[in-house]
Structure 1
């Protein structure tokens, strides 16, 4: 938002940063490197691991939560906590929001803009994956 960051935060203004590229994430956990054939062969295989996929989604949320806590946006952190809690109800309590350092420099605000856009795109992927997993469960 212009009021929060001091500039218009649009996709055209930033280079997206994938903070989860070197770790397990939704994309790696829910797909295979071998695309095969068919409309959606990765998901049609009998080897599709639903728990690994859910774990990848959880790790994505946890990575973005850790990154965003430095910017001290309690509303975003609480939303991520609720998503994590829904995925891992048996693990006890979700991490509590902690005070961040705030946004000091323009470079930090640009990075926040980039991370928020990347997180938005990842949440679309997570939403689609969760819809797919729900359809799998209802067809059983």
Structure 2
């Protein structure tokens, strides 16, 4: 939340059109839900067809995409946290920390950052829920 307070304006969801920067690639939502969601808005998670590896890969790809998007704008704590999550998902990750350069200083850049940060915050809720679901699968075996 600290990143929201350093943009120089009130960065609220009401002022934004959120952009899904992962919509054209594998991501948590595509990888962790059923291809055939059936009727209604809530995709069904069938234990027999659920692919844990694919889901974890989708989560990793989300983190990688958001890290790349935020690397020039966010403080080092955000990037370090994303790196730690990626490392936990893939022990062989060779991610190298890049220092933050904060090059996006125009108002348009800061508005985009605000949008990306809110989208990422929402995606982390989805990731957290999927990780809890995966944990519950493991504990019930």
TM-score of the pair, normalised by structure 1: 0.89
Q: Which residue of 1 aligns with 2:114?
A: 113
RMSD of aligned C-alpha atoms? 2.0
Q: Which residue of 1 aligns with 2:136?
A: 135
Which sits farther off after the overlay, 100-109 or 13-22?
100-109
Structure 1 spans left out of the alignment, 5+ residues? none
Higher normalized helix content (fraction of residues): 1
TM-score of the pair, normalised by structure 2: 0.89
In 2, Cα distance between equivalents of 1:133 and 1:54: 9
Other structure's SS at 1:58 match: helix
Q: Which residue of 1 aligns with 2:66?
A: 64
The alpha-carbon distance between structure 1 residues 112 and 2, as it changes in their structure 2 partners (threshold 3 A), is closer
Are the counterparts in 2 of residues 58 and 87 from structure 1 also a CA contact under 8 Å?
yes
Structure 2 spans left out of the alignment, 5+ residues? none
Q: Is the aligned partner of 1:52 residue 2:54? A: yes
Q: Which residue of 2 aligns with 1:20?
A: 22
Size of the aligned set, in residue pairs, is 138
